[in-house]
Chain A
Amino acid sequence: MRKLATMLVALMVIMTTGWAGNAGAASKAIVIDGSTTVGPIAKSFASYFMKKYKVPVTVSESGSGNGAKSLINGSCDIADMSRSMKPQEIAAAKARKINPVANVVALDGLAMIVHPSNPVRALTEAQIADIFSGRLNNWRQVGGPNFPIVVIQRESNSGTQETFKELVMKGRAVVSGAETQASNGAVKNRVSQTRGAIGFVGLGYLDASVKKIAVNGVLPSAATVKNKTYRLSRDLYMYTNGKPAGVVGTFIDLPNTPDGKRIIQELGFVPKY
């Protein structure tokens, strides 16, 4: 019995000191949460930042919606978002005395991707909307082989999904049989493995395992996104509480530095400035 009691006390001591230790660390480090699209930029920035300024940075990717939520709850310093904050979110933040400020990190194109074996090269926005709303369900209908289309969308917490719905669907509902994946990586993975699949990812996720589709005759690339000829493009944000200052300010300023621009370009995104 005595042993047990000692052990319990020891356990409590360890737990309380552990918590205290955590709390101490959190105030110094930069905590980032949010979009899986912005995630790669945040992660590369983080490793660059940690090397240069010796400040620990943690990056989690839970979707733009979760990022906004974390910022509002005060559990992160920077919320990565691939869409702008909604009025309701801003209202909720204000109610909690948090003042979300949008900082544009980079530009991104929303690339439509299909399986590499798919001969279809180009689609119009209207065709994409028809495919995702279920009106077209065979590749034959858009000039491809006689093969059913597997539509892949993102979870509703995804900023990429919201951008897609806003830019392409324009109020139409995505077909209920559409597969739903939780991240850009998962969409790319599924499309690269599924013959009939079509999905959408951020520019940074394009590689040889999937085939990008020209939209309204324009292929997504850094150049076409920057000169606005590629229609499906958007700003990527890092939201902060108030105007970023201190280490967070230095971090947010990275896209304006030459190294930051290089990192953004290397990842396949487009620097804003």
Chain B
Amino acid sequence: MQNSNGMIDDGASKQGRSSVFIVSARKRKLQKISQKSGEATLFLIASFVAIIVLFIFWFVARDAVPFFDSLHTFREFFTSSEWYPADDPPRFGALAIIYGSLMITVGSALIAVPMGILASICLSDILPFNVRQYVKPVIEMLAAIPSVAYGFFALVVFAPLLQNSGGPILMWAWWLIATPFLLLMVIVASELLTTSIAKGAMKKTAHLGLILILGALALLLLYFVGNHLQGLMIMSGTNALNVSIILSFMALPTIVSVSEDALQAVGRDLREGSYALGATRAETIIKTVLPAASSGILAAVILGIMRALGETMVVWMASGNSSHIPDPWFNYLESVRTLTATIAGDMGEADQVTGSARFHVLFAMGLILLIVSFVSNLISERIVVRQRKVLSGQ
């Protein structure tokens, strides 16, 4: 209504009339037509986007299905890690490549998820408002850096750094991360273990003793693991660890931004209610705010993980691209090859030019990625909707 009122005003003042309610029939008709055509255009664009998604599915699936024409190729694809697409006869064992994708996705999630959630808690509940205003955009800026820039950094700066001083870097990282964590663990554990003891001098000494014993154990752990890490030789810096770390930085802004929104959405009432019942800030965050925002945070995590799984440029440049399963299987210091990098790297040879299987196998990989990300997106969408319902129901 506001819009049409404005237009009427406009017309009226031009024609110098006093009443704003008199509009010619022609004008009204024009208005209606422009409104309808505008709506139609918007609808067309919206449905176009939906159709694009359907078409992508259709075209990828159409070229992927021929690859799985026999049980043999199907089995080879999922169970063999012999990836020699250019040989004669070609071998299309993608197990190592699927595993590589899984490995760097898990690796980056292990870094990005705890970091992202903690950062979002800090942003929403701990930092004062005026600081948060500046910190959040800075974190979100990580998302604006093009992935090829990340890849270049990973290849040219980070990989040599890992090769030349990987051991010490890992050791310092371990100390920095584990020290505060272990300290917290020691305090909490000694507190929990002494709750059953009655009050008095006895409790105090038991408490102190436990702190000392557990603290010593923690120090030993810190020292020995750190020592082991320092002794590690990293043969090649373009490996799963490098890519996992870089990808976790790329996934961080998504996780922080979405889960911070979820934490904000919990609202003041719940927090103040919790404080009113005598809860401390830690208790409020852990027992009230986090459970209330949990589904939103889960959605954030899924989105962040999808970012890592789908990333191509960084992994292609810096993962080393060797299609084998590391030995032992959790060895993040070996190079791996991912589905995305394989599609990017092999596309040049894989046209109709060099025979069909080599072309279709890449579409099969694309289809796997598409299905995984589609399902994850559906799940996270579901979760967000459910949370909205729960919150509005309260």
Contacts and interface: CB of A to CB of B under 8 A. Distances in A.
Given A1-B3, A65-B348, A179-B335, A193 B353 contact: no
B345 A5 contact: no
B324 A177 contact: yes
B141 to A, nearest CB: 28
A196 interface: yes
Interface in B232-284: 235-238
Interface string A87-103: 01100100000000000
Contact of B322 (A62, A88, A179): A179
Contacts of B347: 66, 157
A261 to B, nearest CB: 30
A2 interface: yes
A102 to B, nearest CB: 16
Nearest to B344: A182
B109 to A, nearest CB: 24
Contacts, number: 112
A66 B37 CA distance: 44
Contacts of A263: none
B155 A176 contact: no
Given A1-B34, A5-B37, A156 B238 contact: no
A68 B347 CA distance: 12
A265 B368 CA distance: 48
Interface residues of B, number: 45
Interface string B82-101: 11111100000000100000
Interface in B26-40: 34-35, 37-39
A69 B348 contact: yes
A229 interface: no
Interface of B: 3, 34-35, 37-39, 41-42, 81-87, 96, 155-156, 159-160, 163, 235-238, 316-317, 320-324, 334-335, 337, 345-349, 351-355
Interface of A: 1-2, 4-5, 8, 62-66, 68-69, 72, 86, 88-89, 92, 148, 150, 155-157, 162, 165, 173, 176-182, 186, 189-190, 193-197
